[in-house]
Amino acid sequence: MPALAQKLLVLRSHLLPLVAGHQRSSSFHQAAARYRPSGPPKLSPYDVNCILRGNEHTQEFGSGSVKCYDTNQLASNSPIEDSRTEGSCVHTSGLLLGIFDGHAGPACSQVISKRLMRYLAASLVPPDDLKTHLQNGAQSQSFVDCHNDKLEFVSEIKDIYERSFEIFANELTNTTLAGFQMHQVLENAFLRLDQDLSREALESPSIRTMSVAMSGAVAVVAHIDGPHLHIASTGDCSAVLGTVTDTGQWIAKKLTNEHNSDNVGEVRRLLNEHPATERDTVIRGERLLGQLAPLRALGDFRYKWTREQLEQLVVPQFGEHVIAPYYLTPPYLTACPEITHHILTPRDKFLILASDGLWDTMSPMQTVHLVGEHMYGKAFLQPLKLPKHDITFDEISQMLSTRKAGLQKKPLDRNAATHLIRNALGGTEYGVEHSKLSHMLSLPQDIVRLFRDDITITVVYFDSEYLRNCPT
């Protein structure tokens, strides 16, 4: 067996279960319905809190349309296949936030979570300014100020990635500011990164470049600049906007569409791209070529490369099974994102970005209600502050009565993403049940994936006063 094949055996073990059955929400609900925990909870409330809060992060901002965001993730796979990145654009005023859900291993999601933000941030810089930054030696990481980012690429692939970025950025300097279209910028960054991942694996095949090429990831990215919110989505992560009406009712506005076989328009698009003779084979068993659930993704070049490329580069290392049945007219998969533009108003209170591990367990409306209640209740976690002006005893009494009522709704978690995960895993019609939550968090590694997926969530809070006064 070739040396590279021995190194990549672990990747093959990730790939085969995906091919056998990339089951989503139905399988999780069926498994949960059959599962009956026995005995006392294995985890104490303290243990549960330590697990749930282990990866949470809150970032606050002093100005702009975003007040703060909460983010968290909980692993099911080992290692976790979800990734997340949040960062402020250094040379423009925008904020970038992304959720990346990997499959067939974590390699692709880990790589694109960092690189895509850099491609996007550089694309937003005016061409003349970008040229100046590059002439001054700017590298890819200097275009985004990432929050809560503790990792960097190893030198072996960092140099490869940096060369690709330099080529891309120099090409951007030849564009004109007059032709700037946000929709095209987002789409071009997704597609160009995907092309670079492909080229790097073909021209510099190694354990690292091939692990990215043979795995894949879906993504949802938000760019927020003043009142302008743009969402770019490839695959089945989702973005939901929490909006309040004049009567105080919550509305969940979904800003993304899942690119899977449940999406009739997506299925029609895919079938139209291939001969009529493949109508019964392009999607089989609700999966692309009978294997992959998302119909759009970055990476996954076993569904994009030509048969000749697969036979020459991939088959010798992975075996014949890497080529899907009825692989006749590739590419079958695209990384092209679907773009949504929304102008924020004071009624828009927060944005929820999440991988499908959350949406497998609750609806957009449920998440909006939970975050809305959490947003109201979180105010009572702060100490009571009396106004600086004179106040009567009756007014103080009224404030205390209001606070007493509000304390009953005080959330257990300060972080809204943690609050959602807690309810996703332990929620019942009567509230969060500790025994259920304890059992869901203490499932053995060999069966946990039957009950829940990786969950990654970012909740972005908007500044209503800023949005009320800023021009559109």
Higher pLDDT, 42 or 215: 215
Q: Are 208 and 6 in contact (CB under 8 A)?
A: no
What is the C-alpha separation between 309 and 436, in angstroms, rounded? Answer: 49
What is the C-alpha separation between 354 and 457, in angstroms, rounded? Answer: 4
Q: Are 62 and 438 in contact (CB under 8 A)?
A: no
Q: Are 240 and 37 in contact (CB under 8 A)?
A: no
In this prediction the pTM is 0.88
Pairing of strands 238-244, 250-254: antiparallel
What is the C-alpha separation between 447 and 411, in angstroms, rounded? Answer: 31
Query: What are the CB-based long-range contacts (under 8 Å, 24+) for 303-310?
Result: 303/330, 303/331, 303/332, 303/333, 304/198, 304/330, 304/331, 304/332, 304/333, 305/198, 305/202, 305/330, 305/331, 306/330, 309/202
Instruction: Give me 73's structure tokens.
Output: 């993730």
Query: What are the CB-based long-range contacts (under 8 Å, 24+) for 24-30?
Result: 24/236, 24/293, 24/356, 24/360, 24/453, 25/356, 25/359, 25/360, 25/361, 27/450, 28/360, 28/361, 28/450, 28/451, 28/452, 28/453, 29/360
Q: What is residue 36's predicted lDDT score, i.e. its pLDDT?
A: 53
Show the DSSP H helices in 173-181 as ranges. none
Span 309-363, pLDDT tens digits: 999 999 998 899 999 999 999 999 999 999 999 999 999 999 999 999 999 999 9
Local structure of 320: helix, strand or coil: helix
Span 285-317, pLDDT tens digits: 999 999 999 999 999 999 999 999 999 999 998
What is the C-alpha separation between 420 and 418, in angstroms, rounded? Answer: 5
Q: What is residue 397's predicted lDDT score, i.e. its pLDDT?
A: 75
**How many helices (DSSP H) and strands (DSSP E) are in the chain?**
18, 17
Mean pLDDT computed over 169-181: 88
Q: Are 82 and 99 in contact (CB under 8 A)?
A: yes
First to last CA, the chain: 61
Query: What are residue 41's phi and psi, to 5 degrees?
Result: -55, 140
Question: How is 241-272 classified by DSSP, letter by letter?
Answer: EEEE-TTS-EEEEE-----STT-HHHHHHHHH
Mean pLDDT computed over 249-263: 97
H-run or E-run covering 89:
strand 82-89
What is the C-alpha separation between 341 and 258, in angstroms, rounded? Answer: 17
Local structure of 427: helix, strand or coil: strand
What is the C-alpha separation between 336 and 324, in angstroms, rounded? Answer: 22
pLDDT-wise least confident of 1-10, 12-21, 27-36, 253-262: 12-21
Span 35-74, pLDDT tens digits: 555 666 789 999 999 999 999 999 999 999 999 999 999 9
Q: ω before 330 within 30° of 0 (cis)?
A: no
Q: Are 61 and 461 in contact (CB under 8 A)?
A: no
pLDDT-wise least confident of 8-12, 76-80, 161-165: 8-12
DSSP 8-state symbol, 28:
H
Span 418-436, pLDDT tens digits: 999 999 999 988 889 999 9
Query: What are residue 96's phi and psi, to 5 degrees?
Result: -115, 135
